[in-house]
Amino acid sequence: MTALGNESASAPRTTPLYEVHQDLGANLVDFAGWLMPLRYGSETAEHRAVREAAGLFDLSHMGEIHVTGPQAAAFLDYALVGHLSRVAVGRARYTMITAGDGGVLDDLIVYRLGDDEYLVVANAANHDTVVAALTERVPGFDARVDDRSAGYALIAIQGPEAARILAPLTDADLTQIRYYTGYRLTVAGVSVLLARTGYTGEDGFEIFIEPGTDAPRVWQELTKAGEQYGLKPAGLSARDTLRLEAGMPLYGNELSADITPFDAGLGRVVKFEKEGDFVGRAALAHAAENSRPRRLVGLIGHGRRVLRSGHEVLCDGRTVGSVTSGAPSPTLGVPIAMAYVDGGLDITAGKFTVDVRGRAEDVDVVELPFYKRDR
Amino acid sequence: MSVPAELNYTSEHEWVAITDGVATIGITAYAAEALGDIVYVEPPEVDTTVQAGDTCGEVESTKSVSDIYSPVNGEVVDVNRTVIDEPELIGTDPYGQGWLFKVELSQDPSDLLSPEQYTQLTEGEG
């Protein structure tokens, strides 16, 4: 056995739910500078709880950046690839922030909280990059970029029973809260932004709590309400296999500054129809009109060995790409992976294998996602 | 974390039980807990000669893959076929049904840790 555990140069930050995780016996790891629960018991059991009942996640490491002012909408239309001025108050959008060359700096969810107020949610690992890019792009607009990440906690409840568990804890009529919306409401008596969003492929809610010190109360109330429905606390490990089954990209794996949204099969998030220039427009227009250098596909392994990030994908013995994320799929019972392969490759012809540490493992190449819930 | 008193250990988180010149080898409860759900294991093949410190197999969990090192010198005389089909046994019963392989010793092992030394090591890492 090789050495176990993760080491970090400086002490990682803790979330407002740190003591809750300790009481639950969580396996805590340094993730993007935060001490986060990897799992509480079996990550496979946590994964299944989210698919079959519900799971509770601490996502307080995510970045929350408020953008306000009379030109907040115009500014975000310039700074991001999405058409944020078209988003109605109460609605949310999945979007991206790119560099001038079209490379993805982060994928984001942006909530429109008011006519002149947006909440930009960034990945923990990219928080500094996103804050710096927004701050750099805002001069000339009557808008303000306010990084409030330190004050927020974020709890997600995900799974088919999520709405049933949450309903008695809020005055909101959850049947009126549609997918990709977010409203200021109360949960367990605490003022929150309640959003019907998630990253698991299931129905569910994300609960933004500011100040974050109120988060343990919300967590405990949800835990109590969820007991009879099979709610389990779930860690980052289950979150990763859930999003992989659902074919959702992860920054650092499927997305990076070397990748355009078109490479990742997410070109639809780039809204060329919006008026005026935006950062990356020329480079992205070029990327949209030219053949893709690479393409994101799914792989299903025939054996039991795990296909992992960095493993080469071969077609008839020739290297055609590499794995970006892989794991054994608890839902399908086989190894699955996402991989970038050459853009022009015919995925219906040839014998595909993955080089797993020197041994060729047979795989099928499939379109994403691997899992889609029944609606 | 359980560290049975009748076993010896390595700093690579393996346990060793020696009876009549044959060492039974597995991974510790500490290692199994740190790895998470174990999904694949490949022990060495019977009849291979192993040297202490050599890589001789691998254990995969959802999140990572780890090499298995031989803690002793000798010849592999038996392999636990059950854990190949049910790798989760390594996590649920690491010192029992989750054993990995047996080696007939060609010389007495040196550098194995006592239960006290191993406990100290894992507390240091924990």
Give the residue from B39, B84, B122 with the most A CB atoms within 10 Å of its CB, the best one to mutate. Answer: B39
Q: Cis before residue A211, ω within 30 degrees of 0?
A: yes
Peptide bond into A160 cis (omega under 30): no
pLDDT recorded at residue A5: 53
pLDDT attached to residue B126:
52
Domain interval for residue B104: 8-109
Amino acid letter for position A15: T
Whether A6 has a pLDDT exceeding 60, the answer reads no
- Provide the pLDDT confidence category of residue A9 given band limits of 50, 70 and 90: low
* Tokens representing residue A108 in the block: 């984001």
Is there a domain that residue B42 lies in? yes
Q: Judge contact between B89 and B41, C-beta under 8 A.
A: no
Q: Does residue B2 belong to any structural domain of this protein?
A: no
Chain A positions in Cβ-Cβ contact with residue B25 (cut-off 8 Å): none
Contact B36 A241 (CB under 8 A): no
- Give me the residue from B31, B40, B63 closest to A304, CB to CB: B40
pTM for the model stands at 0.94
CA distance A253 to chain B (A): 14
CATH no. for residue B84? 2.40.50.100
Give per-residue pLDDT as tens, A121-171: 999 999 999 999 999 999 999 999 999 999 999 999 999 999 999 999 999
pLDDT of residue A277: 97
- Structural domains of chain A sorted by starting position, each given as residue range(s) with its CATH number in brackets: 13-60+152-245 (3.30.1360.120), 63-134 (3.30.70.1400), 291-366 (2.40.30.110)
d(CA A206, CA A194): 6
The verdict on residue B118 lying in a domain is no
Whether residue B21 lies inside any domain: the answer is yes
Coil vs helix vs strand at B74: strand
Does residue A336 contact residue A324 with C-beta atoms inside 8 Å?
no
Q: Is the pLDDT of residue A58 over 70?
A: yes
Band the pLDDT of A216: cuts 50, 70, 90. very high
Question: Which positions ≥6 away from B121 have C-beta within 8 Å?
Answer: B9, B11, B113
> What is the three-class DSSP state of A2?
coil
CB contacts of B38 in chain A (<8 Å) are none
Query: What is the number of structural domains in chain B?
Result: 1
Which band of pLDDT confidence, cut at 50, 70 and 90, is reported for residue A235? Answer: very high
Residue A299's pLDDT band (cuts 50, 70, 90): very high
On chain A, the residues whose CB falls within 8 A of the CB of B39 are 304, 306, 328
**Residue among B40, B62, B69 minimizing CB distance to A1:** B69
Determine, yes or no, domain membership for B120. Answer: no
CB contact under 8 A, A43 and B62: yes
Q: How high is the ipTM of this complex? A: 0.86
Q: Do B12 and A241 touch (CB under 8 A)?
A: no
Asked if A38 lies within 8 A of B63 by C-beta distance, the reply is yes
